[in-house]
Amino acid sequence: MATVTFDGATRLYDGSQRPAVDALDLEIGDGEFLVLVGPSGCGKSTSLRMLAGLEPVNGGHIRIGDRDVTHVDPSDRDIAMVFQTYALYPHMTVADNMGFALKIAGKSKEDIRQRVEEAAKILDLTDYLDRKPKALSGGQRQRVAMGRAIVRSPQVFCMDEPLSNLDAKLRVATRTQIASLQRRLAVTTVYVTHDQVEAMTMGDRVAVLNAGVLQQVDKPRAMYDRPANAFVAGFIGSPAMNLLTLPVEGDAPLHLGTFELSLPREGRTALTGGEVTVGVRPEDLTLSADGAGIPVTVELVEELGSDAYLHGSVTGGSASELLVARVDPKSPPEKGSQVHLAPRPEKVHWFDTATGLRLVD
């Protein structure tokens, strides 16, 4: 096994003015499961392909363990890649697909059979080794693709959105299997996804990218509780954090409708402009029976069985001031009703609107 290090790694495509990956500095521990997450075009897949040697590095270095692999051929990096598409040979059996790379590497038939059978047992594919890919479900095909990577016993697994072709229910089951498998094998894994729920549930740590720039890397819970900037705050979490931009005038309190908020002094001191972004997660807004809270007109209630989410507009505020709050699914407010939502003071997040950076620790 090995660590992975991105040391100022940069990828600039021909004809582009802005790097797809801009001076990425990231250290991935031995045996760690790190998830790269971000919106489409943020550079996460490019970063993974740079590590695998499928994209050239225009600046900086990439190391696997103590070895600089920046300009090493992909076949010599001891990495196994699992792609979004299964890329299985349709004319080969499951066993032949899983063992093909070992066959090309000149391994003996006995060694190949042993490794394939071991991987098949781990992945619950033993009964399917003689089948062709067309006789398998999508989830089974993805497990075959995983098995093809496992039999190589690589130093690093690279996974590029491997669950995106599965239906929602199967994705939940398969992501649990992948996370469990990685912990069992203890192989350093870099996993790319655009789905922040996958990121939060699978990774030992999560790295958020935006426009090719690393925004934050941390454990999922720490990132959820203390996002480094407004982008991470709005991207991590489902439903997303409520983010509202308010003007700051001297020491005067801030207003959401008739509700007053007080920006802590350390936040006012660090503020670089005349506006602040206030963040509150849906579960940190509670219905207030005594009218002490943000006045909201209920626009929609999403009833999901175990949860319910209220969507409302701030009464007396601008048209853009919309809030989402988690409410009791057994007795949610009715559409069109007037309610008051009280934020938990210790759970309010403050960001500099001009820079996006967190203001208050």
Q: Tell me the fold of 240-352.
A: OB fold (Dihydrolipoamide Acetyltransferase, E2P) (2.40.50)
State the burial class of residue 317 (Cβ atoms within 10 Å of its Cβ: 0-12, 13-18, 19+).
Answer: buried
Q: Which pLDDT value is given to residue 312?
A: 94
Q: What are the tens digits of pLDDT across the range 288-347? A: 888 889 999 999 999 998 899 999 999 876 656 899 999 999 999 999 999 999 999 999
Q: Which pLDDT value is given to residue 174?
A: 82
Identify which of 308, 315, 305, 306 has the alpha carbon closest to the alpha carbon of residue 336: 315
Residue ranges of the domains in the chain? 4-230, 240-352
Q: Which CATH class is domain 4-230?
A: alpha beta
Residue 221's contacts (CB-CB under 8 Å, 6 or more residues apart) are none
pLDDT < 70: residue spans in the chain:
1, 317-320
What CA–CA distance (Å, rounded) separates 251 from 93? Answer: 72
Q: Where are the alpha helices (DSSP H) in the chain?
A: 44-52, 94-104, 109-122, 138-150, 168-185, 196-202, 220-225, 230-235, 265-270
Helix (H), strand (E) counts: the chain: 9, 20
Q: Which pLDDT value is given to residue 169?
A: 81
Q: Which residue has the tokens 């600039």?
A: 12
Q: Which pLDDT value is given to residue 168?
A: 79
Equal fold, 4-230 vs 240-352: no
Q: Which pLDDT value is given to residue 165?
A: 78
Pairing mode of beta strands 294-303, 242-247: unpaired
